[in-house]
Structure 1
Amino acid sequence: MKSILLSTAIVAITATFATADGHSVVRMGTEGAYAPYNFINDAGEVDGFERELGDEMCARAELTCEWVKNDWDSIIPNLVSSNYDTIMAGMSITDERDEVIDFTQDYFPPTASAYVGAADGADWEGGVVAAQTATIQAGHIAEGGATLVEFATPEETVAAVRNGEADAVFADADYLAPLVEASGGELVFIGPDVPLGGGVGMGLRESDAELKGKFDAAITAMKADGSLNALLVKWFGEDTAQY
């Protein structure tokens, strides 16, 4: 396998450039605000499940990769505009998104979304429910009987419950679980789990079929040798869905 460069820094959004050996850099777009999928660590670097998985996928595909941080609400438009080449940001595969961009196969199995409130009796059905904007969770709430209040970041959705601005937050159960555990009873799961989406996959431009094929091959290999399951357990625990 040829040597590769895996950047440990968050790079600014720039045009694609060539490395010294003439190969293009693949820019990996992420939000950096959705632990444990992706987050910014104390060193100011992209970290988390998707960082570790993405680096391994790049290594197996013999690609030179760097990480780019981008806000969630513009993450698809900036991919389409070629400000980076992939999205690894806890993004669920949906038919609506698939009309705009392409996806690899899922690297996180379809999983549940969940409600969290400040008390067991919090009104998740008809009250005010917070969700991150442009997510499948926000779309689900908008179609139901609750009043949707949207926020740009996942942290703000949870803060809305803590400060009484919302009765509940609706998000990926895997994102909410460590927050509930660490809250010391301040936050509790309420209502039923809701299965949404077709799993989490890497987003790419429709025109990048060759790049998609390389990453799909890496995911397939990691599913086959058990290394993807090992990463899922490492970052989400023994009870997480696996392949």
Structure 2
Amino acid sequence: MKSILLGTAALAMTAGMALAQDVVRMGTEGAYPPYNFINDDGEVDGFERELGDELCARAELDCEWVTNDWDSIIPNLVSGNYDTIIAGMSINDSRDEVIDFTQDYIPPAESAYVALSEDAPLDGVIAAQTSTLQSAYIVEQGATLLEYATAEEIISAVRNGEADAAFFDFDFLRPIVEESSELSFVGEEVILGRGTGMGIRESDTELKATFNEAIDSMKEDGSLNELIVKWFGDDVKVYE
């Protein structure tokens, strides 16, 4: 699950009371399969689309989907362009200073390295998506970080020889590795963040409570685990 660094725009005045609106706008990236992506019909699809629609149905909310680039997704929530972020966003302390989160709807997950060679130096040049938990981790490890705007670009960087390895969410990387005759996982997996939750403006306490109740109901009846397995496979981590 991804994270984002916070720009000064994220400190703008909060806007809106979501439940007072006719429609709750669900903000996502649309470029992070299987969490969220744009399908052949040009519509938001993926795990989070199905999850979000079910949460809105249980909460009896009229919801619509809005896409936004990853690097400005928090500032545009704060400024009122949509009412939630549901985009594979990891919960951590830095974001909690600017926005609020629901409880997690995916447990903390692993990040992993992929490379063209099992001998790839993980202290060398590592590609990661801009402003994510993974990019921050690479800096902490003392490796040379190459940042790219999208996850697809970090894979291309490895294939093109620009980076020794790429570091990103295991769930995103697994199908790419499985379908590739070149790429393989290297090194150890790393757990980052506190799970994935919906981002909510700090002023929208009622909306947060409403979605928390809906997430609780899906955890309790097992439907959330079923949805996670559907999109991420039988060996994915689920709620006990």
Same fold (TM over 0.5): yes
Which structure exhibits the higher relative contact order, with contacts defined as CA atoms closer than 8 Å and separated by 6 or more residues?
2
The alpha-carbon deviation at position 144 of structure 1 amounts to: 1.3
The alpha-carbon deviation at position 102 of structure 1 amounts to: 0.4
What's 1:12 paired with? none
- Rounded Cα–Cα distance in structure 1 between residues aligned with 2:155 and 2:205: 37
- Rounded Cα–Cα distance in structure 2 between residues aligned with 1:205 and 1:102: 6
What's 2:78 paired with? 80
- Name whichever structure is richer in helix by fraction: 2
- Rounded Cα–Cα distance in structure 2 between residues aligned with 1:157 and 1:212: 34
5+ residue gaps, structure 1, are: 1-14
User: What does the per-residue CA deviation read over 1:187-242, in whole Å, with 9 as the maximum and x for residues that have no partner?
Assistant: 10001000100000000100000000000000000000000000000000010011
The alpha-carbon deviation at position 44 of structure 1 amounts to: 0.6
The alpha-carbon deviation at position 134 of structure 1 amounts to: 1.1
- Quick one: which of 38, 58, 61 aligns to 2:59? 61
- Rounded Cα–Cα distance in structure 2 between residues aligned with 1:209 and 1:116: 40
Alignment of 1:237 onto 2:229: no
The alpha-carbon deviation at position 30 of structure 1 amounts to: 0.5
- Rounded Cα–Cα distance in structure 2 between residues aligned with 1:206 and 1:223: 24
What's 1:130 paired with? 127
- Rounded Cα–Cα distance in structure 2 between residues aligned with 1:224 and 1:143: 38
Q: Secondary structure at the match of 2:141?
A: coil
The amino acid of 1:231's aligned partner reads: L
What's 1:156 paired with? 153
- Superposition CA RMSD, Å: 1.6
- Rounded Cα–Cα distance in structure 1 between residues aligned with 2:78 and 2:167: 28
Q: After the TM superposition, which residues 1-243 of structure 1 pair with which residues of structure 2 at under 5 Å, given as runs?
A: 24-124=22-122, 126-183=123-180, 185-243=181-239
The amino acid of 2:225's aligned partner reads: N
Q: Secondary structure at the match of 1:143?
A: helix
Counting aligned pairs with the same residue, the percent is 70
The amino acid of 1:119's aligned partner reads: S
The amino acid of 1:198's aligned partner reads: R
The amino acid of 1:50's aligned partner reads: E
- Rounded Cα–Cα distance in structure 1 between residues aligned with 2:226 and 2:53: 15
The alpha-carbon deviation at position 23 of structure 1 amounts to: 5.0
- Rounded Cα–Cα distance in structure 2 between residues aligned with 1:138 and 1:97: 16
Q: Secondary structure at the match of 2:55?
A: helix
The alpha-carbon deviation at position 145 of structure 1 amounts to: 1.9
The amino acid of 1:207's aligned partner reads: S
Q: How many residues align?
A: 224
- Rounded Cα–Cα distance in structure 1 between residues aligned with 2:98 and 2:153: 27
- Rounded Cα–Cα distance in structure 2 between residues aligned with 1:158 and 1:81: 32
5+ residue gaps, structure 2, are: 1-14
- Rounded Cα–Cα distance in structure 2 between residues aligned with 1:191 and 1:71: 30
Runs ≥4 residues deviating over 3 A: none
